Amino acid sequence: MTRLLLFVALLIGSLGSAQAHKASDSFLRIGLDQSAIEVRWDIALRDLDFAIGLDSDADGAITWGEVRRAEAAISAHALSRLAIRGDAVDCPLLAVPGLQIAEHSDGRYAVLSLSGRCAAAPAQIEIDYRLLFDIDAQHRGLLNLRHGGDSQTAVFAPDRQRQTFTSGSPARVFQTYFSEGIWHVWKGADHMLFLAGLFLPAVLRRKKGGWEPAVSLPAALRETAALITAFTLAHALTLALAASGVFSPPSRLIESLVAASVLFAGLNNLLPMVQRRLWLLAGFFGLIHGAAIAGALLELGLPVQGRVTALLAFNVGVELAQLVLVAVVVPLCFAGRNSAGFRNAVLVPASLIVAIAGLAWLLQRALDLPIPMPF
């Protein structure tokens, strides 16, 4: 066990030292008043450093002086990756001098101000967004568009780089937030590892002194689906409360509790602490995960007229993505449940990875320690 723990720790450390660029979001706010366009674009400094190089002295820290000296390069890079058309006619954009810095929950962002004008007040707006997609396929551009008294939101992705806006129809709102709910599960490493901690023992039952295989695949699927649904319902509750402004918990506290949930999920498979009514445990941690994602949705900007639709669509997307994982992973585990190799080569090592990752995240987030992570 000691050798295995050491191996996993070294594996995570080696992956962390060679980790790729962190997946990211930028926040794009566009306002149209008749033919005039005003744009605020928040782009993470870490992303700009990765794309064009801001750290000129290579000391690992990006200073305000380095950002200010790179203002022209930042503006040129951003403008080359954003285009707006009104009624199929280009609306040229120009950078407004005076770059600023803003703090978001995940670090510092450069704030660009852009202005432009269309030939006439457009009825239809087309936005072409291509920031970072060539170097980071997981990047997302979060749009809040104000046009003609209507507020709309959208998410740009590699397969959704060009989007057209006429009105914020319920169908469009549902589609946007449904796909983001699915994406939230796939790209959230802490979410995925927490789910892994729940899935791993799905085909085993703990008995005195060890584990016994589950007898029935349908029963294993039902029990796992119940855990997932309890998690999603609790997730939806706090997400709705936080996104509606009922409460606003400190980001650092919530992110630390999310990390603690991952640590607990891994440890509970190795040193059983909760063995019965696991759906209550899943629901409790779902409350925490829902509060954590609310901040990102608020930065995206929930539509005023379609807020209920957006929240419903997001949670339906989350639930669907999780149930797909259940349908794929649980049958595969069930096939090998009788093997001691499954417990020794899959359950124990994977639970160790989940627990170690959770502990590293907890130290990183609670104590603000610079611990490299592979996720």
pLDDT band at 104 (very low <50, low <70, confident <90, very high): confident
- CA dist 330 and 146 (Å) reads 45
Token reading at 240 = 């709705």
Considering Cα of 95, then 96, then 99, then 103, what sign does the dihedral take? negative
The reported pLDDT for the residue numbered 271 is: 80
Cross-strand bridge partners of residue 110? 43, 101
Amino acid at 223: E
- Mean pLDDT lowest among 48-57, 75-84, 196-205, 230-239: 196-205
pLDDT of 207 > 50? The answer is: yes
What is the per-residue pLDDT across 267-309, written as a single tens digit (0 to 9) for each? 888 887 766 677 788 888 888 888 877 766 665 556 655 667 7
Amino acid at 241: L
Highest mean pLDDT among 132-146, 169-183, 338-352: 132-146
Highest mean pLDDT among 80-84, 134-138, 159-163, 188-192: 80-84
- Asked if 87 and 123 touch (Cβ cutoff 8 Å), the reply is yes
More confident residue, 250 or 90: 90
Token reading at 103 = 């703090």
What is the per-residue pLDDT across 29-46, written as a single tens digit (0 to 9) for each? 999 988 899 999 999 999
The reported pLDDT for the residue numbered 15 is: 37
The reported pLDDT for the residue numbered 346 is: 80
- CA dist 50 and 22 (Å) reads 10
Strand runs labelled E in the chain = 25-33, 36-44, 82-86, 89-90, 93-104, 107-117, 125-129, 140-147, 150-156, 162-165, 204-207, 210-213
The reported pLDDT for the residue numbered 6 is: 42
The reported pLDDT for the residue numbered 375 is: 45
The reported pLDDT for the residue numbered 339 is: 74
- Mean pLDDT lowest among 127-131, 208-212, 310-314: 208-212
pLDDT band at 7 (very low <50, low <70, confident <90, very high): very low
pLDDT band at 370 (very low <50, low <70, confident <90, very high): low
What is the per-residue pLDDT across 219-272, written as a single tens digit (0 to 9) for each? 888 888 888 888 888 888 887 787 666 767 777 788 888 888 889 888 888 887
CA atoms within 13 A on the CB side of 199: 22
Count Cβ atoms within 10 A of the Cβ of residue 51 and give its class: 0-12 exposed, 13-18 middle, 19 or more buried. buried
Q: What is the mean pLDDT of the chain?
A: 80
- CA dist 48 and 173 (Å) reads 30
Burial 174-207 (b: 16+ CB within 10 A, else e): bebbbbbbbbbbeebebbbbbbbbbbbbbbbeee
Highest mean pLDDT among 88-102, 240-254, 306-320: 88-102
Name the CA dihedral angle for 106, 108, 110, 113, rounded to a multiple of 10 degrees.
Answer: 70
More confident residue, 373 or 150: 150
Burial 148-165 (b: 16+ CB within 10 A, else e): eeebbbbbbbeeeeebeb
Give the Å distances, CA to CA, from 62 to 25, 47, 129, 169.
19, 12, 26, 42
The reported pLDDT for the residue numbered 297 is: 64
In the block, tokens 């269309």 appear at 118
Amino acid at 142: L
More confident residue, 326 or 242: 326
- Asked if 28 and 125 touch (Cβ cutoff 8 Å), the reply is no
pLDDT band at 336 (very low <50, low <70, confident <90, very high): confident
The reported pLDDT for the residue numbered 296 is: 60
Q: Give the whole-number percent of the chain exceeding pLDDT 90.
A: 21
The reported pLDDT for the residue numbered 304 is: 56
pLDDT of 179 > 90? The answer is: no
More confident residue, 153 or 111: 111
Mean pLDDT of 317-337: 82
In the block, tokens 């022209």 appear at 72
Highest mean pLDDT among 42-46, 288-292, 311-315, 363-367: 42-46
- CA dist 319 and 326 (Å) reads 11
